[in-house]
Amino acid sequence: MRPGPAGLLRQEREVIRNMAKSTHYRWADIQPEAMNSLVNRQYLTGVKTMLARIELKKGAHVPMHQHFHEQISHTLEGALKFVLEEGEVIVRGGDILCIPPNAPHEVFSLEDSVALDIFNPPRQDWIDGDDAYLRGAPEEPAK
């Protein structure tokens, strides 16, 4: 006999409680990955979310791409120009940009910059190393 809705919720909570344990990380302990000569990336994944720390030197370019993941990009330092379907936006230190799923976007680093990107769900293409759009991306002058 199957448990009723309350029983299912209790079982689901128990599975999540047993599966997800709190984990403490330090960026200093996560080896930066050189995507190209101007972009370094670090990331960690939770159960349903990914957090990435991206360092972009002035002149770095992330080519136009899109993905089914929701993305929240928080520029900590510097200035990044995002090219979106609805236009261009300069995101400076302290600014946050929410990019909906499947929205085409590209990024130009106007200054040496550091950003935190949150993705839901985690970027399996990054985990699998199937992110050629970023690896070795052409370096272009900042626009």
Q: What is the pLDDT of residues 82-119, one digit of tens each?
A: 999 999 999 999 999 999 999 999 999 999 999 999 99
Backbone φ and ψ for 117, nearest 5 degrees, come out as -115, 130
Integer angstrom CA distances of residue 126 from 20, 76, 105: 22, 22, 17
pTM: 0.81
Asked if the model's pLDDT at residue 7 lies above 60, the reply is no
Backbone φ and ψ for 49, nearest 5 degrees, come out as -140, 150
Closest by alpha carbon to 85, among 109, 106, 61, 59? 106
Q: What is the pLDDT of residues 51-87, one digit of tens each?
A: 999 999 999 999 999 999 999 999 999 999 999 999 9
